[in-house]
Amino acid sequence: MKSFLIGLLAALTLLAGPVQAQDGPLRIEITEGVIEPLPFAVPDFVPDSPAAADHAARIARVVAADLSGTGLFREIPASAHISQVSDFGAPVQFADWKAIN
């Protein structure tokens, strides 16, 4: 029995010799990918005064155009917005915004 165990240990040692780490750096080649633009929504800003309403609308359009222009983002149209920002201090309705995604 003792000689069997010694023989088994010797065989395992000889078989374990060829097991080595592969030489050279790991190389990964990515040939395809899917890049879909991330959706975003720019709600109308709440102006402090009627005179600021035009500026608020222009700022929203500039932000939307800049993000859309990169090709990495897709604007969700205002007609799809469920909730509207009515007051600067009002909490954001995250469930509504997530639903239109």
Q: List the structure tokens of 43.
A: 């709600």
Buried-state track 61-86, b at ≥16 Cβ within 10 A, e below 16? eeebeebeeeeeeebbeeeebeeeee
Give pTM, 2 decimals: 0.56
CA distance 100 to 81: 7
Give pLDDT tens digits along the chain (101 positions).
778 878 777 777 777 666 666 677 888 888 887 788 999 988 888 888 888 989 988 999 999 999 999 999 999 888 888 877 777 787 878 787 788 76
